[in-house]
């Protein structure tokens, strides 16, 4: 992404929809319409925090047909390094933010014969926009939505109104769980499954689908990792000939950007592989937090995704 192409938006609505989730409505500050997008897209929101810039990915949850506003849902992360706390504590109606053009890394398969959507908590957001495309179409679909309790069921009324019996809600508080094995063992040929939610749920759905014989090409998932905190370390950028300090609560990518070096990225959540960077020298170990590199590649320690991954090391040299 090129930051020069961000769009300035004004926050025109903030609603606390669950104890942990706020719903934001963003309108273009210059008036007019926002870019058209497809269901499953996310935007990067650029936040000017105290002394540092946060750039977090959030799925667009509004209708792709209503382009006077974008809607996002932000869950307050317990171990946030600031992005979600900034959105919850510092952003209010009238605040201005910069956003990047939408990118879709979680699109629906257009030749699927059926869609099964599985959401956990805040993972409902990309599906809200996809349902706008699915609703009224000829391809059957169903949505399984798991939440802690009724007070945590964000956007439930919107879903119930539209989806009727295609919607299945499960409350942890009442001991309800999705019967993944039954669900995935009984789907017709040509079905695709999509899952978005906590990492444990995603892993469980993938493993269950595989054990039911699903091939990988029919299993889709999205989880944006927030860059975890870690120990401070130093990195040397070989091509830029720059030494950069990475503090505990700032990601490697953010630190490199703060030093004035551009790294291409799309998701900033360890998914897309765009910021893939070659490791030239390493004395220590890499802490891989991404979902992109294979286990084998992670073990080789020859490359790193600086958006979410870090290092415990005496020396790290990157090809940047």
Partner 1 sequence: MLITGIKSKPVYAPLQTDTRGRYHLMLAMGAGAAPLLRVIAEMRVVAGPSLKNTRVLFVSDAAAPEVEQFKAATVADLQTFPSTPALLERFRAILQKSLMGTRLYVAGPESFIGLAMKIALEFNLNKDEIRAEECGTLARRVYCIHCRATTEDVRTNIVSCIGCGRWLLVRDHYSRRLAAYMGVMVDAEAPGELPPLKEVFL
Partner 2 sequence: MSAVFKPEETFRGDFNYSNSPQAVRRFPLPFAEDNYMYSVNIEPHLPGPLGSVTEFAFDVDEHYVAECRERAIVLATEPLRYQAMPHMMSSQWDCLELIMESLAHDYPAHFSLAKQGNRWHWINRPLEIDQHFTFGDTATLPREPLDYITRQAQGDFVVMDQREGDLWCEAGMVTTQADWSLDFDLGMTFKEWHGPVPLAHELQVFDRALKFLLNLRLGQPVRRLNWTMTINPRLDTSPENYPQWGTDRAAVTAQNAGDLVHLRVELQGLWRLPRSNAVVFGIRCYLISLRQLATVPKWARRVHRVLKDLHPALVDYKGLTRYRDAAVQWLAPFDDGSPTTSGTAPE
Smallest gap, in angstroms, from Cβ of residue 108 to partner 1?
Answer: 13
Binding partner at 189 among partner 2, partner 1, none, C-beta below 5 to 8 Å by kind: partner 1
Beta-bridge partners for 311: 286
For residue 264, state whether it binds partner 1 (rule: CB under 8 A).
no
Site for partner 2 in 111-150 (CB under 8 A): 111, 133
The contact mask relative to partner 2 for 235-274 (x = CB under 8 A, - = no) is: -------------------------------x-----x-x
> Pick from 4, 30, 65, 111: which binds partner 1 (CB under 8 A)?
111
Q: Which of 13, 19, 29, 36 binds partner 2 (CB under 8 A)?
A: 36
Residues 61-90 that bind partner 2 (CB under 8 A): 64
What string marks each residue from 208 to 237 as x (binds partner 1 by CB under 8 A) or -? -xx-xxxxxxx-------------------
The sign of the CA dihedral 89, 94, 95, 97 is: positive
Residues 6+ apart with CB under 8 A from 10: 26, 27, 28, 29, 94, 95, 96
Choosing from 104, 146, 223, 289, the residue that interacts with partner 2 (CB under 8 A) is 104
Q: Collect all residues with Cβ–Cβ distance below 8 Å to 241 and sequence separation of at least 6.
A: none
60 by DSSP, 3-state: which?
coil
Concatenate the DSSP letters of all residues of 118-139 into one string.
EEEGGGGHHHHHHHHHHTTSSS
Scanning 15-23, 83-91, 104-112, 148-156 for contacts with partner 2 by CB under 8 A, the matching segment is: 104-112
d(CA 106, CA 130): 10
Q: Which one of partner 1, partner 2, none interacts with residue 184, CB within 5 to 8 A by kind? A: partner 1
185 is a site residue for partner 1 (CB under 8 A): yes
Binding-site size, partner 2 (CB under 8 A): 22
Spatial distance between the Cα atoms of 23 and 47, rounded to a whole number of angstroms: 16
Q: How far is the CB of 185 from partner 1 (least distance, A)?
A: 7
- Can you tell me the distance from the alpha carbon of 275 to that of 289, in angstroms, rounded to the nearest whole number? 13
Q: Could you tell me the CA-to-CA distances from 174 to 17, 20, 169, 262 in Å, in that order?
A: 20, 19, 11, 48
Q: How far is the CB of 215 from partner 1 (least distance, A)?
A: 4
37 contact choice in partner 1, partner 2, none (CB below 5 to 8 Å, kind-dependent): partner 2
Which is closer to partner 2, CB of 137 or CB of 284?
137
Q: Which one-letter DSSP state was computed for residue 65?
A: T
Residue whose CB is less far from partner 2, 244 or 266: 266
Mention every residue, 6+ apart, whose C-beta is less than 8 A from residue 130.
39, 40, 108, 117, 194
110 contacts partner 2 (rule: CB under 8 A): yes
Q: Which of 4, 51, 174, 217 binds partner 2 (CB under 8 A)?
A: 217
**If we measure between CA atoms, which residue out of 258, 260, 273 comes closest to residue 307?**
273
175 Cβ contact partners less than 8 Å away, ≥ 6 residues apart: none
Measured distance CA(205)–CA(213) in Å, rounded? 12
Subset of residues 112 to 151 that bind partner 1, contact rule: CB under 8 A: 112-113
Residue numbers at the binding site for partner 1 (CB under 8 A)? 109, 111-113, 184-191, 209-210, 212-218
Residue numbers at the binding site for partner 2 (CB under 8 A)? 1-2, 5, 35-38, 41, 64, 101-104, 107, 109-111, 133, 217, 266, 272, 274
């Amino acid at each position: 992404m090129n930051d020069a192409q961000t769009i300035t938006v004004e926050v025109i609505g903030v609603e606390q929809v669950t104890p942990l989730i706020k719903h934001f409505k963003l309108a273009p500050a210059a008036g007019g319409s926002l870019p058209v997008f497809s269901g499953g897209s996310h935007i990067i929101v650029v936040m000017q925090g105290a002394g540092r810039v946060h750039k977090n990915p959030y799925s667009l949850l509004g209708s792709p047909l209503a382009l006077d506003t974008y809607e996002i849902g932000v869950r307050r992360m317990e171990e946030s390094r600031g992005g979600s706390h900034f959105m919850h504590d510092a952003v209010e109606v009238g605040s201005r933010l910069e956003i990047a053009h939408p990118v879709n890394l979680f699109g629906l398969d257009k030749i699927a014969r059926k869609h099964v959507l599985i959401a956990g908590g805040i993972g409902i957001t990309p599906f809200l926009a996809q349902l706008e495309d699915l609703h009224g179409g000829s391809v059957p679909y169903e949505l399984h939505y798991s939440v802690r309790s009724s007070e945590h069921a964000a956007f439930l009324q919107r879903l119930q109104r539209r989806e009727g019996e295609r919607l299945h809600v499960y409350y942890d508080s009442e001991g309800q769980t999705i019967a993944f094995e039954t669900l995935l063992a009984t789907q017709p040929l040509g079905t695709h499954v999509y899952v978005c939610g906590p990492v444990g749920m995603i892993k469980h759905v993938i493993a269950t689908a595989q054990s039911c014989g699903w091939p990988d090409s029919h299993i889709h998932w999205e989880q944006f990792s927030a860059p975890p905190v870690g120990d401070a370390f130093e990195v040397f950028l070989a091509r830029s000939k720059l030494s950069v300090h990475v503090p505990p609560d700032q990601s490697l990518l953010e630190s490199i950007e703060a030093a004035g070096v551009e790294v291409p990225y799309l998701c900033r959540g360890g998914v897309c592989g765009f910021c893939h960077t070659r490791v030239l020298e390493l004395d220590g170990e890499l802490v891989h937090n991404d979902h992109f590199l294979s286990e084998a590649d992670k073990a080789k320690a020859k490359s790193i995704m600086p958006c979410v991954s870090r290092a415990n090391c005496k020396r790290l040299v990157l090809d940047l």
